[in-house]
Structure formats: structure tokens, C-alpha cells
Amino acid sequence: METLRTPYFVIDETILQNYYDMLTGSLSHSWNNYLVGYSFKTNSLPWLVSFVKKNGAYAEVVSEDEYLLARYLGYEDHEIIYNGPYKSRTSFRNVLLAGGYVNLDSQTEIDWLDGLAEEYPERPFSVGIRANFDLEKMCPGETTMGEVSGRFGFCYETGKLAGALQRLQTIPNVTVTGLHLHSSSKSRSVNIFRSIAQMACKLQQEFRLDLSYVDLGGGYCGGMEGRPEYPDYFPVVAEELSRCFTPDQTKLIVEPGISLISKCTTFVTSVFDVRDIKGTRYVMTDGSRFNIDATMIKTSHLFHVLYQDDDRKEDTAPARALMEKQIISGYTCMECDRLFSHEKQPELLPGDQIIYENVGGYTMSLNPLFIQYFPAVYVRQQGKLLQVRRKWTPEDYVSGSVTALQDP
């Protein structure tokens, strides 16, 4: 295991399976009519997609490319949950015609639907609609959008949602059977999901909707010390939903991403150089901030160190001097590629490993092809490591390109 060339990601399959089972166990206990739509954008590693597919999850996609990837990896059109503002017309039609889930996000999509319904007047079409609502007011300080507004779906407060529903009602063979209420929050609290469920009830009552599904979206916590886990959310959601819905008539859709895959994923890096410049110790590693924090928002990381002269035993610092401060940096040539400040810790030396934890979401698929290509990914199965993505090479990078040296 130690001989593998760093950097690489490792996914522990047992932990992943535990999280998947915790999710479905909690859902079946609280609302025994549910569907899991795995959020492709969070991590679309093919092995991971096939793992969740094998476990019964549908594909939650938000672009034509993600839709095509889902198809490529074996999803049928009816196993797709199609969200977001950037769908393509062809894929939109394919999913609707196959009876998959489409959550309308814009006026243009209503036009597309209108056209499709006219083309197939004998066919009934069921769609969902994404509601944009003031979650910040219900959960002050907790949302990502804050007090301004979210930018997805049809706004409830300004009457756009009512307008869209009215217009959809005029299309004879179209019925709105679903509500999509995904909202991203900073807190990922149980209270956020209680409020989303309350909103589902409010909209159902106000617009007299007959819903075959309520889609809560994603944004749960999972595998974070002191934070909620799946079994904390769904009893509360069910308590609220049961005021207006029954599991017999209304399916609960959830779209987990990061909560499923954080706990099981680590990123293994090695120190390759240390240098002192004007009193600062820089520890150069073969893992970059771009590998695990491409959006440059993290201020701290969960990690542990394996010191190479101590048989890489965890948490047993070898007899090395403590250093006041070491700046752990990445391999890129960008000054900002500094991961964290390591204070009052044993001196790190080339060959030591820094292993980051909770890095499953928004990392592998949000990793630029910058200076180094995608790192390898391994899956730990019964103590063995199986490579599920090899490190990308220049051949992978140039695939699809032509050079000026080639004849036209």
C-alpha cells in the first residue's frame, strides 16, 4: 500500500455502503415511499456512479453533459432526475417522453414543454417545478443565498411561481405532479429541512397541488463530527410532510451528494521538499489546494500525518523537533496554493504523508487539469486497494484535440 505513487484518492467501500444503507434505512423508517437521486455534480467518478446505481439510486443531473454521462454509464431516460437551469432541449424531451423526472426551472422550459405536449396531444405529461422561496427568512443566517435571493426556479414571493403554475394549467395534457425545493445552506441543519418540508405543505395547500412527489434536493451533512446524520433529518421531515401528504400518494425524493461520500474518501499526499525562506518553512507536497479545495473556500482541513521513519504509524510522532510553524503547500506554481499552517508540530520531511479526510465531494470532479492531470483513485475493498481511475496522462489530456503539426 505504501508503495503506491502519491497523490491519490481512496474511497472506502465499507464506509460508503454504511452511509448508503443509513440513508435508505432512515428513509424507509420515516417515509416508506422514497427515491434517491444521486447528485452527479458532487462527484461523477464512474465507479461511484455505478456503485449508487447498483444500490438503486437514480441519476440527478443538471446539464446535457451530465445527462449523457448518465446514459453512457447505463442509466435509462426514466431513471433520470433532471434539474437546474441549463438543460438541453433534446435531453429534456427524452426524459419527459420516457417518464423520468424533470423539474422545470425557467420560462423557456415551459415553452419546450408546451411544444412537446402539442406534438403528442394524446400523451399525458407529468412534471415537477422548482420553487424559489425565502428560506433565509425561515432560517436566518443559515442559507447560502442570504438575504438577496436564490437564482434558481420560480419565485414564490413575487408571484412567478403562481404565474408558471397558471400557465401550465392551460396545457391540457400537462400536470404538475412534483415540487423541487433544493436550497443550499451553510448550516445543513435539521431546521433547514424542516422549513423546506413546511414550504412543501404551504405550496401544496395554497395552489391545491396534487403531488406524486416532493423533492427535498440535497445539502445534508454526513460524517462530520457533532453534526446531523441522515437519521436526524427524516423523522423531522416526515413529521412536517405528514400534515399534508401521505407516503401512499406522495414520494419523497432526496438528492444527496457530499453527505454520502465525504466520510469514506481520503486524499493521500507526500512531502517532496522543504525549504526555508526568510524565516518561513514551506513544506512542498504533491497534493494541491486545487485537488481538494478548487473553489478556494476552505479555511481548515481534516487530516492526519504518517511519518515515514516510524513505519508510518498514525499519530505517533517520531523524535523530531517541534516547529513553530510550517506552511503546507501544493505542487503548483501559484502562490495561493497553500493548504494550511501546521503549528507546533514535528518537523515534516520528504517522504512523510499528509492524508486529508472528508474529501469526497466537490473535489475529484471539480479538479482542474492544471500543471498535473487528474490523480488516481483507489477503492478499498476488504483491505485491498482496487484502482478505479488511473492517473491521467498527456494522452488523456490531448484526446479530442488536433495540433498544428498534423495535416488537416
Ligand X SMILES: *Cc1c(COP(=O)(O)O)cnc(C)c1O
Q: Does residue 252 sit in helix, strand or coil? A: strand
Residue from 7, 178, 256, 330 that binds ligand X (CB under 6 A)? 256
Smallest distance from ligand X to CB 104, Å: 13
Q: Of 42 and 367, which has the nearer Cβ to ligand X?
A: 42
Contact flag: residue 105 with ligand X (CB under 6 A): no
| By the rule CB under 6 A, 83 interacts with ligand X | yes
Helix (H, G, I), strand (E, B) or coil at 190: helix
Residue 41 as a binder of ligand X (CB under 6 A): the answer is yes
Neighbours of 79 (CB within 10 A): 21
How near is the Cβ of 183 to ligand X at its closest, in Å? 9
With respect to ligand X, which residue has the nearer C-beta, 274 or 302? 302
| Residue, CB closest to ligand X | 257
Give whichever of 218 and 375 is closer to ligand X, judged by the CB atom: 218
Tell me the window of 12-20, 90-98, 251-259, 317-325 that interacts with ligand X (CB under 6 A). 251-259
- Residue span binding ligand X (CB under 6 A) among the ranges 121-129, 255-263, 264-272, 276-284: 255-263
The distance of closest approach from Cβ of residue 36 to ligand X in the complex, given in angstroms and rounded to an integer, is 11
Residue 257 binding ligand X, by CB under 6 A: yes
Site for ligand X in 190-219 (CB under 6 A): 217-219
User: Among 127, 221, 258, 292, which residue sits at the site for ligand X (rule: CB under 6 A)?
Assistant: 258
Does 185 help bind ligand X (rule: CB under 6 A)?
no
Instruction: Please say whether the beta carbons of 240 and 250 come within 8 A.
Output: no
Instruction: Kindly state the helix (H) or strand (E) to which residue 340 belongs, with its residue range.
Output: strand 338-346
182 part of the interface to ligand X, by CB under 6 A: yes
Which CB atom, from 262 or from 266, has the smaller least distance to ligand X? 262
Among 100, 223, 361, 375, binds ligand X (CB under 6 A): 361
Kindly provide the b/e burial profile for residues 341-356, where b requires at least 16 CB atoms within 10 angstroms of the residue's own CB.
Answer: ebeeebbbeeebbbbb
Q: Does 42 bind ligand X (CB under 6 A)?
A: yes
Least distance (Å) between residue 182 CB and ligand X:
4
Task: Give, as one character, the DSSP assignment of residue 186.
Answer: S
For ligand X, the binding residues (CB under 6 A) are 39, 41-42, 60, 83, 182, 217-220, 255-259, 361
